[in-house]
Amino acid sequence: MYKNLAGRAVLAWVTACFLSPAFSQTPAPNAPLKIGFVYVTPVTDAGWVRQHEEGRKAVDAALGAKVKTTFVENVAEGADAERVIRDLAQQGNKLIFTPSFGYMEPTLKVARDFPDVKFESITGYKQTPNVATANARYYEGRYLAGIAAGRMTKTNVAGYVAGFPIPEVLQGINAFALGMRSVNPNAKVVVVWLNEWFDPPKERDAAMALFNQNADVVAFHTGSTAVMAAAQERGKMAIAYHSDMRKIAPDAQIVAVTHQWGGYYTQRAKAVLDGTWKSGNLWGGVKEGMIRVGDFGTKVPKAVQQEVLARQQDIAAGKLQPFRAVAVDVRDNEGRVVIAKGAQLNDEQILKMNWLVEGVQGRVTR
């Protein structure tokens, strides 16, 4: 009898242990959705990664105990990214955001091995049943910043520090030049290519070189705040990108083109929670609240601020399209017509952009 009682006690203890949440292989029904984020640079006070970190925080704020988010920073594109993404999937993250173009292929590789995990390839363009893509129409903000730069410049020369000559960067340069020349036909834009996304010393040197070429305002498509700091140091003007950078350049900042990811990230997390998540592709801009221009510097007159904000409302309403030729043909900087009078580029043409518009000094390797 005692043997049977002892055996039953042991069996009951073992059964209780393995059926309890601490020992079970399946999550408890109320367990939070685990969400992972992979960042291509360290998390800094401003920049590309900062905006995605703000997006992660927005998910936490909106969904609270329903989610548990984590991030891994400073992850190089390529093999290292695949390792980190795979680790996040193995750790039980059921939704993983990978916001860098170079993460696209590693994301796809890992996704094949984890069909029950949802992946969001931010700036990627390849979808599968468990990999969605999303990007923002950064060029809309660039056009608006160009209007501000065109009004503020005294030398009619703007500099542009650019990472790589990929379509997204070309869209930004061209939209900036078109916006600038829409209010200042004599303006020109001088481009310096770095072939780097994040190299603060090189970014600073490029900005300084542009100031030495008579530019009194600079824009950039790189990952740090170095260009803004250079403008502050030299007493010049600059367009902040990714984030508001007035803390770094309180006197230099004209305006900021910021990316707003919190709404999209929260929406996608909710979709996983309620079982409605589907793969797809979103290219959102001002209308969708993913791009915003504002955070004007103290030197920008109210009239200029109001003009830029009015044009931002026009873009949101569909009344203004940066790549539409209204009064005359739009030509590239080699004289070829790239947008005929009255025509407008469609998304496919914008996504394949491989030219620089008239008024831009620089070359694109084709």
Residue 180: closest CA among 214, 213, 218: 218
Fill in the amino acid letter for 28.
A
List pLDDT tens digits, range 290-314: 999 999 999 999 999 999 999 999 9
pLDDT at 5: 39
Residue 99 pLDDT greater than 50, yes or no: yes
Minimum mean pLDDT range among 100-104, 126-130, 233-237: 100-104
pLDDT at 28: 54
pLDDT band at 1 (very low <50, low <70, confident <90, very high): very low
- Integer-rounded Cα Rg, in Å, for the chain is 24
Residue 125 pLDDT greater than 50, yes or no: yes
Residue 25 pLDDT greater than 60, yes or no: no
pLDDT at 366: 58
pLDDT at 16: 41
Minimum mean pLDDT range among 4-8, 52-56, 238-242: 4-8
Average pLDDT, the chain: 91
pLDDT at 24: 40
Query: Could you write out the three-class secondary structure of the chain?
Result: CHHHHHHHHHHHHHHHHHHCCCCCCCCCCCCCEEEEEECCCCCCCCCHHHHHHHHHHHHHHHHHHHEEEEEECCCCCCHHHHHHHHHHHHCCCCEEEEECHHHHHHHHHHHHHCCCCEEEEECCCCCECCEEEEEECHHHHHHHHHHHHHHHCCCCEEEEEECCCCHHHHHHHHHHHHHHHHHCCCCEEEEEECCCCCCHHHHHHHHHHHHCCCCCEEEEECCCCHHHHHHHHHCCEEEEEECCCCCCCCCCEEEEEEECCHHHHHHHHHHHHHCCCCCCEEEECCCCCCEEEECCCCCCCHHHHHHHHHHHHHHHCCCCCCCECCCCCEEECCCCEEECCCCECCHHHHHCCCCCECCEECCCCC
pLDDT band at 237 (very low <50, low <70, confident <90, very high): very high
What is the mean pLDDT of the segment spanning 149-165?
97
Task: Tell me phi and psi for residue 39, to 5 degrees.
Answer: -115, 135
Q: Are strands 95-99 and 33-38 parallel, antiparallel or unpaired?
A: parallel
Share of the chain above pLDDT 70, in %: 92
Fill in the amino acid letter for 326.
V
Measured CA to CA in angstroms, residue 226 lies from 11, 202, 218, 274, 281 at distances of 65, 9, 12, 42, 32
Residue 9 pLDDT greater than 60, yes or no: no
In the chain the domains, ranked by start, together with CATH numbers, are: 33-136 (3.40.50.2300), 138-258+291-361 (3.40.50.2300)
pLDDT at 198: 84
